[in-house]
């Protein structure tokens, strides 16, 4: 019986992989456990975005061989974007692997497990025509954490020169709104009060005549759903209706992750971003006009092929103007098969030095934003126990962790909190 079997999933990368891991667990019917030692099956749900992603997966598979040597009946699988990109290479290089499944095919896990249990190895990295979400079993109505992810869109049609997502996740596909609303209601019935809508280009959501803005407005009508967020967005898909929603949908939180990647128009063109720095800044002005208190976060790639010092200075100038509440910055690293992979690279030492300068600025801006919260009173969603007894960790409207004195029975409640202290990545508060 599958229900008697135990599954350990190690999840890499983005929130969409977290969501996918939950659904893969449902698909197998196995009980999830917190350690590989206790598992009948180990599944690595991989990400191909970061540097040397495939090498890290092979290294982890080498480490996991010891568990298979101790338990020959143990099954090991690789899922996600590295599985999609590497496919048969994983099977050929690592005999300990029993199955490889791409991110668009994990609804086929039951059939693949049957194949594995019959003594065969299984691989499926197709892009099936059927919607995988239609074929996944509905799990039991267990209570959920107060905050949950909900994938509404997958894939990408933008083909940025540095990115593998269009090749590993496929073309943009949006899920039907009726199914999303039903899933959201189900989550609320199970204790969820905050939903984060996910997509590779979530604001490209378009199902029939439903845009992301319309979906958000309908979700906001659900009783018991108190907060709505979405990530990750592309500047070119910020329509007028979505900007307007930030101004008049109270449940839509005042936090927006809107990556720009560079402040240089020549670099943006080389990246195939299809917008300029000025267009990005004008877009932020429009968003801030309807929601002045919105907090912004972004992504930056330093040392993209061809980046000159003047290009990098343009990035610093943009950051100084925007003053992000939080940001993620990385040195460029080539992804095989992407247009930028074969271009002449910036010297590694130059990339390291530029990244340090950028991160110093971003850290300073983040610190200033955190400090600006002290003395304010804001609604905080209490989520889980903190490090100390009698302490809970909550989430501010701006996605900050807030530590405060409260009991575990308060989980799922939104309380008014007076912010008393700030740190780089968290706040401390008192219930008022």
CATH number of the structural domain spanning residue 248: 3.30.750.210
Query: What is the pLDDT at residue 51?
Result: 60
Instruction: Using pLDDT thresholds of 50, 70 and 90, give the confidence band for residue 1.
Output: very low
Report phi then psi at 362, rounded to 5: -60, -40
Q: How many Cβ atoms sit within 10 Å of the Cβ of residue 337?
A: 11
Provide the domain limits for residue 419: 377-431
Q: In the listed set 253, 273, 299, which residue is the last one of a domain according to the structure?
A: 253
Average pLDDT, the chain: 91
- The number of distinct structural domains making up the chain is 4
The answer to whether residue 91 sits within a structural domain is yes
264 in a structural domain? no
190 domain-assigned = yes
For the cut 50, the answer to whether the pLDDT of residue 257 exceeds it is: yes
Position with higher pLDDT, 82 vs 77: 77
Least confident segment among 91-100, 241-250, 266-275, 366-375: 91-100
pLDDT at residue 105 is higher than 60: yes
296-335: b (≥16 Cβ within 10 Å) or e: bbbbbbbbbbbbeeebbebbbebbeebebbbbebbbbbeb
Q: Among residues 30, 26, 34, which one has the least CA distance to residue 1? A: 30
Which of these three, 64, 90, 124, is where a domain ends? 124
Q: How confident is the model at residue 110 (pLDDT cuts 50, 70, 90)?
A: confident
Q: Residue 380 pLDDT more than 70?
A: yes
The residue ranking higher by pLDDT, 24 or 221, is 221
Structure confidence at residue 409 as a pLDDT band (50, 70, 90): very high
Q: Is the pLDDT of residue 56 over 50?
A: yes
The two tokens of residue 307 are 């980046």
Tell me, what CATH number does 117's domain have? 3.40.50.12160
In a domain? residue 346: yes
Residue of higher predicted confidence among 324 and 173: 324
Residues 344 and 384 reside in one and the same domain: no
Is 69 domain-assigned?
yes
Residue 246 located in a structural domain? yes
Q: How far is CA 321 from CA 82, 235, 236, 294, 329, in A?
A: 37, 17, 20, 15, 17
Tens digits of residue pLDDT in 270-292: 999 999 999 999 999 999 999 99
Give pLDDT, residue 103: 80
β-pairing verdict for 377-385 and 414-422: antiparallel
| 115 and 13 belong to one structural domain | yes
Task: Specify the CATH number for the domain of residue 297.
Answer: 3.30.750.200
Say if residues 82 and 57 touch (Cβ distance below 8 Å). Answer: yes
Average pLDDT over residues 318-332: 97
Q: Look at residues 124, 155, 188 and tell me which one is the last residue of a structural domain.
A: 124
Residues 91 and 189 in one domain: no
Confidence of residue 128 (pLDDT cuts 50, 70, 90): low
Report CA-CA distances (Å) from 185 to 27, 207, 225.
21, 19, 8
- Beta bridge partners of residue 415, listed in sequence order: 380
Q: How confident is the model at residue 395 (pLDDT cuts 50, 70, 90)?
A: very high
CA within 13 Å, CB half, 406: 28
In this prediction, residues 50-78 reach a mean pLDDT of 84
Poorest-pLDDT segment among 4-13, 181-190, 315-324: 4-13
More confident residue, 115 or 218: 218
In angstroms, what CA-CA distances link 228 with 148, 203, 221, 245, 302? Answer: 10, 14, 11, 11, 31
Same domain, 153 and 170: yes
* Claim to verify: residue 217 and residue 293 sit in the same structural domain: no
CATH of the domain at 426: 2.40.50.140
Q: Is residue 230 part of a domain?
A: yes
Higher pLDDT, 188 or 93: 188
Mean pLDDT of 326-352: 94
354 contact partners, CB below 8 Å, separation of at least 6: 302, 303, 312
Same structural domain for residues 209 and 315? Answer: no
Percent of the chain with pLDDT over 70: 94
Q: Do 170 and 229 fall into the same domain?
A: yes
SS3 of 96, please? coil
pLDDT in tens, 205-225: 999 999 999 999 999 999 999
How far, in Å, CA of 174 to CA of 203, rounded?
10
> Which residue, 3, 15, 252, is CA-closest to 151?
15
Is residue 365 domain-shared with residue 394, that is, in the same domain?
no
112 shares a domain with 32: yes
Q: Are residues 392 and 367 in the same domain?
A: no
> 130 in a domain, yes or no?
no
Q: Which tokens hold the place of 274? A: 């299809």
- The per-residue pLDDT for 411 is 94
Instruction: Tell me: do 104 and 53 sit in the same domain.
Output: yes
Instruction: With CA atoms as reference, report the closest residue to 135 among 106, 114, 115, 155.
Output: 106
381 in the same domain as 365? no
Provide the pLDDT for residue 93.
87
Could you give the percent of the chain with pLDDT greater than 90?
Answer: 66
Average pLDDT over residues 93-102: 89
């Amino acid at each position: 019986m599958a229900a008697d079997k135990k599954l350990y999933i190690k999840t890499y990368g983005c929130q969409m992989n977290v969501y996918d891991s939950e659904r893969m667990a449902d698909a197998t019917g196995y009980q999830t456990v917190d350690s590989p030692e206790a598992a009948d099956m180990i599944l690595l749900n991989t990400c191909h975005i970061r540097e040397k992603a495939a090498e890290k997966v092979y290294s982890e598979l080498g480490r996991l061989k010891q568990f298979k040597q101790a338990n020959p009946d143990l099954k090991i699988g690789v899922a996600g974007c590295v599985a999609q990109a590497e496919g048969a290479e994983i099977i050929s290089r690592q005999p300990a692997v029993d199955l490889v499944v791409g991110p668009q095919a994990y609804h086929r896990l039951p059939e693949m497990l049957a194949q594995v249990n019959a003594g065969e190895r299984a691989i499926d990295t197709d892009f099936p025509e059927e919607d995988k979400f239609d074929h996944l079993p509905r799990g039991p109505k267990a209570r959920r954490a107060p905050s949950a992810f909900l994938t509404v869109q997958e894939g990408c049609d933008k083909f940025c020169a540095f990115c593998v997502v269009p090749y590993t996740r496929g073309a943009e596909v949006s899920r039907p709104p009726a199914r999303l609303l039903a899933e959201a209601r189900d989550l609320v019935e199970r204790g969820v009060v905050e939903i984060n809508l996910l997509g590779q280009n979530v604001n490209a959501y378009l199902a029939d005549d439903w845009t992301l803005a319309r979906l958000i407005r309908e979700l906001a009508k659900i009783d018991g759903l108190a907060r709505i967020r979405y990530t990750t967005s592309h500047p070119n898909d910020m329509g007028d209706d979505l900007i307007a929603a930030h101004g008049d949908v109270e449940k839509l939180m005042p936090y927006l992750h809107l990556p720009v990647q560079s402040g240089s128009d020549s670099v943006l063109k080389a990246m195939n971003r299809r917008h300029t720095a000025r267009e990005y800044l004008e877009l932020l002005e429009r968003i801030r006009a309807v929601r002045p208190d919105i907090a912004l976060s972004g992504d930056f790639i330093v040392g993209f092929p061809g980046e000159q010092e003047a290009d990098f200075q343009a990035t610093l100038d943009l950051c100084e103007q925007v003053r992000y509440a939080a940001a993620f910055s990385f040195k460029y690293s080539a992804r095989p098969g992407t247009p930028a992979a074969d271009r002449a690279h910036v010297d590694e030492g130059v990339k390291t030095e530029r990244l340090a300068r950028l991160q110093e600025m971003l850290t300073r801006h983040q610190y200033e934003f955190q400090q600006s919260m002290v003395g304010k009173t804001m609604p905080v969603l209490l989520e889980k126990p903190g490090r100390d007894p009698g302490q809970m960790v909550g989430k501010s409207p701006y996605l900050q962790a807030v530590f405060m004195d409260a009991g575990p029975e308060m989980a799922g409640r939104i309380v008014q909190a007076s912010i008393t202290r700030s740190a780089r990545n968290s706040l401390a508060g008192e219930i008022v």
